[in-house]
């Protein structure tokens, strides 16, 4: 893959390609197409049926017809493409991001940026080596209300903050059992599988339900939950934890899902002066209550109306609750022992616009979610999942980014536990 050398000016058209356009990637197409002087010039998907559907959709929106690819490697050979946006299954995120950097493209990569800790470290190394702009898809960092909430927390609106509690309560039904079946016409299943082990095709291992299998996804902790883990860490002003523990299981449904639909995680931070901060996180995927009023103003239809997704921060003089990236949730605070209503806000933002602005300016420090921050937050996800799968607490060394005295955990967190299929291999030296 040849590197691109085009230097963009403030008024130059940014030519972007979107990889993976079945679900979230279609949002990428529409959002990037709304940006001034930006053109979606290519789309890529391993399902030709999805490509045809999206080409028709872009025509209906009066967007220029893009080039289409089923193999991302061919897309990356196009030197006229300035940036790629990655919305594939999680197991492809790191590989496309690294290949994109090597090809001279800037990259917007959906959350989680990595399928394991080692991949995240390689992405950071590639972004630095090839001097690329890489934005992580934790878009809550671009929401005006969330930005204001974090500023107020840092300025002491609820006193000294010692605990953040992340919530991922999404009413998800069981996925049932699906038998092995022929690969659908138009689906390039070997490419879809990519770095993961090649297994017989079943519907549950394909569109969307791949989230619930360890080969491709990271469960709801790495799906929805990474947004709230990232916001909790961002607001507490902490990086890697010292101790991680996670317990849970798969309840209620008899189905093919491997990942837990109930997961309780604790991340402990041992700070200077004997101080300590804690992040708690909970995945709960069935009928449940709300907490701190989060989600009560949502106007969604169907099961989404029962979701409670956000963060609660507890301080020495009150608490503050932030809803998910939907502007209608915003944040609310309650001050003092009598919990008197404090500051509140409901302001939106545009994570895609932030990425495009920095692609033009090359001011990496202006990214709201730089890949270095994404890697740290995703590491919390990977540590918690490893703790759950191994059934024990993990002691982590933030300096070396390694689990202390636990070779089995470290293998699970790195390439040795992944089993990459050739040629879809991330090299040790990117």
Give per-residue pLDDT as tens, 239-254.
999 999 999 999 999 9
Report pLDDT for 180: 98
Q: Is 269 helix (H, G, I), strand (E, B) or coil?
A: strand
What values do phi and psi take at 70, rounded to 5?
Answer: -105, -20
Model confidence, pTM: 0.95
Domains and CATH numbers, the chain: 14-139+352-369 (3.40.50.720), 141-178+187-350 (3.30.360.10)
List Cα–Cα distances, 335 to 156, 339, 340, 342, in angstroms: 11, 5, 5, 6
Report pLDDT for 12: 86
Question: If you search the block for the tokens 């989060």, which residue do you land on?
Answer: 294
Helix 371-390 to helix 225-236 angle (10° resolution) is: 110
Report pLDDT for 293: 87
Question: If you search the block for the tokens 């009023």, which residue do you land on?
Answer: 293
What values do phi and psi take at 340, rounded to 5?
Answer: -70, 135
Residues of the chain with pLDDT under 50: 2-3, 299, 327
Q: Is 272 helix (H, G, I), strand (E, B) or coil?
A: helix
Query: How many residues in the chain?
Result: 430
Q: Which residues contact 373 (CB under 8 A, 6 or more apart)?
A: 136, 138, 230, 234
Report pLDDT for 327: 47
What values do phi and psi take at 74, rounded to 5?
Answer: -70, -40
What values do phi and psi take at 173, rounded to 5?
Answer: -80, 165
DSSP string, 349-377: --HHHHHHHHHHH--GGG-SSBHHHHHHH
List Cα–Cα distances, 207 to 6, 23, 333, 334, in angstroms: 35, 9, 39, 42
> Strand 308-315 vs strand 276-284: parallel, antiparallel, or unpaired?
unpaired
């Amino acid at each position: 893959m040849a590197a691109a050398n085009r230097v963009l000016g403030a008024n130059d058209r940014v030519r972007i390609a979107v990889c993976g356009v079945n679900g979230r990637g279609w949002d990428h197409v529409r959002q990037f197409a709304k940006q001034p002087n930006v053109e979606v010039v290519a789309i890529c998907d391993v399902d030709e049926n999805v490509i045809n559907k999206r080409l028709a959709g872009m025509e209906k929106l009066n967007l220029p017809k893009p080039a289409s690819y089923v193999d991302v490697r061919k897309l990356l050979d196009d030197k006229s493409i300035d940036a790629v946006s990655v919305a594939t299954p999680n197991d492809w995120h790191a590989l496309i991001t690294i290949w994109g950097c090597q090809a001279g493209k800037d990259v917007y990569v959906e959350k989680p940026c990595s399928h394991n800790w080692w991949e995240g470290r390689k992405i950071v190394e590639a972004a630095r080596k090839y001097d690329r702009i890489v934005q992580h898809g934790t878009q809550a960092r671009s929401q005006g209300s969330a930005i204001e909430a974090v500023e107020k927390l840092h300025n002491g609106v609820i006193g000294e903050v010692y605990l953040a509690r992340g919530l991922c309560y999404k009413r998800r039904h069981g996925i049932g059992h699906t038998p092995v079946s022929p690969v659908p016409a138009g689906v390039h299943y070997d490419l879809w599988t990519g770095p993961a082990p090649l297994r017989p095709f079943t519907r549950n291992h394909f569109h969307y339900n791949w989230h619930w299998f360890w080969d491709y996804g990271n469960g709801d902790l790495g799906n929805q939950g990474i947004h709230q883990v990232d916001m909790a860490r961002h607001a507490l002003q902490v990086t890697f934890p010292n101790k991680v523990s996670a317990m849970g299981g798969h309840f209620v449904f008899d189905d093919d899902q491997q990942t837990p639909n109930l997961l309780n995680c604790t991340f402990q931070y041992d700070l200077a002066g004997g101080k300590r901060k804690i992040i708690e996180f909970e995945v709960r995927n069935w009928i449940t209550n709300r907490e701190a009023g989060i989600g009560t103003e949502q106007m969604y239809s169907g099961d989404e109306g029962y979701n409670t997704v956000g963060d609660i921060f507890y301080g020495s003089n009150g608490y503050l609750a932030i809803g998910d990236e939907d502007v209608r949730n915003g944040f609310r605070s309650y001050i003092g022992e009598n919990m008197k209503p404090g500051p509140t806000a409901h302001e939106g933002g545009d994570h895609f616009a932030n990425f495009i602005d920095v692609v033009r300016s090359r001011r990496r420090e202006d990214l709201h979610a730089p890949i270095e921050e994404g890697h740290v937050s995703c590491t919390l996800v990977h540590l918690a999942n490893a703790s759950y799968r191994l059934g024990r607490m993990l002691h982590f060394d933030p300096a070396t980014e390694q689990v202390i005295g636990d070779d089995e955990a470290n293998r699970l967190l790195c390439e040795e536990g992944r089993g990459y299929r050739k040629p879809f291999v991330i090299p040790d030296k990117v």
